[in-house]
Amino acid sequence: MYRLSNQIEEVILQHGTRGMSQLRQHMQPGYCERAAQLILENRGVTLVGTGFPVSGSFESDGPIGAIALYRVLEHLGHHPLFVCAPPISRILARDFETHELPIADWDESRPIVQQALEELNPSLVVSVERPGITADGRYYNMRNEDITHFAAKYDLFFESEWCPTIAFGDGGNEIGMGNLYDALGEMDIIPSVTCCDELVIATVSNWGVYGVLAILSKRLEEDVFEFIDPKATIEYLVANGCVDGVTMRLEHTEDGFPITIGIEIIQQLRKLIFP
C-alpha cells in the first residue's frame, strides 16, 4: 500500500507548474494513504470546507473535489456537512447539507466556530482548497492579492484540536500548507501558516481528493469513483456562477486545465487500483 500511495502521488502531481512536485521531497511519503486511513478511522460527522473566493464568486478547484468527497463519505456511512461562506454556501445548501460560516473578523468568528464544534461534534474536519491565514494575519490569492474581506475563518476549525484534520492544497496559500511553511519560503507565494494533521498536495486540489479516493477504493475493494461525476459537477457549478481560479472565466475548467484532464487522472488511478 505504501508503494501504491507513492504511485498515486506521482499521478496527481502530473502537469505541475507551481512547484508542488518539488515540495513533495519535504513531505513524508504516503500522504494519500494516511489521509484515507484517517477517513476510515474517524467515521461520524465530517466537516468539509471549500470555496476559494474569486472575483465575488468562488473557483472550481476545490468544490469539484469536495462534492466528490461528500458523496463518497455518504456511501461510507459518514455524515458529511459542508461548512463554508456565501456565496457557495447558499448554492450548495440547495442540494447538500450545509452549515454556513459567516465572513467575519477573528473575534466574531471564534465563538461562532466554537459553538459549531459543540453543536456538530465532528469526528473529522477537512479542507479542500480553502485560503489559509498568513503570518501577517491576512489572506492572499495566487496573485498575492489581499482577499481577507472575502474569506471566512475556517482555519479556526483546524486550530481547535477538536478532532483529526485533513487539508488539500496545490499552491501554498491554502489551509494546511503551514505544514510546509519553511519550504514554501522559496516560492513566489505568500504562504499559509495554518497546519493540519495530514496534508495532501497535488497539481490541482481536486486531483488530491481523487488520490485519496483511489486508496479508499483499494482498501474497500470497491470502485468509489462510481459515485462521482466531475463533468456533471463542473456543469452544475458553472451554471451557478463558479469561475476558473486561473483564467477567472466561467468555463468547464479547473485551475486552467480542461475538466477532461481531471477525468484522465481518475482513469489513470483506476488502472493502478484495478489493473
Give CA torsion, residues 260, 151, 24, 64, to 10 deg: -20
Residue 239: the pLDDT is 96
Answer yes or no: are the C-beta atoms of 70 and 104 closer than 8 Å.
no
- Cα–Cα distance, 160 to 263 (Å, whole number): 35
CATH fold, domain 2-273, is inorganic pyrophosphatase (n-terminal core) (3.90.1640)
Residue 16: the pLDDT is 87
> Grid coordinates in use for 225?
469513483
Answer yes or no: are the C-beta atoms of 52 and 61 closer than 8 Å.
yes
Give the global pTM. 0.97
- The yes-or-no verdict on residue 3 having pLDDT over 90 is no
Residue 185: the pLDDT is 85
Residue 134: the pLDDT is 97
Question: By percentage, how much of the chain surpasses pLDDT 70?
Answer: 100
- The yes-or-no verdict on residue 1 having pLDDT over 80 is no
180 pLDDT band, cuts 50/70/90, is: very high
Tell me the pLDDT of the chain averaged across its residues: 95
- Cα–Cα distance, 166 to 96 (Å, whole number): 20
260 pLDDT band, cuts 50/70/90, is: very high
- Cα–Cα distance, 76 to 79 (Å, whole number): 9
Residue 18: the pLDDT is 82
The answer to which of 15-19, 57-61, 65-69 has the lowest mean pLDDT is 15-19
For the stretch 188-239, pLDDT in tens is: 899 999 999 999 999 999 999 999 999 999 999 999 999 999 999 999 999 9
Q: Are strands 253-254 and 257-258 parallel, antiparallel or unpaired?
A: antiparallel
| Domain segments of the chain as ranges | 2-273
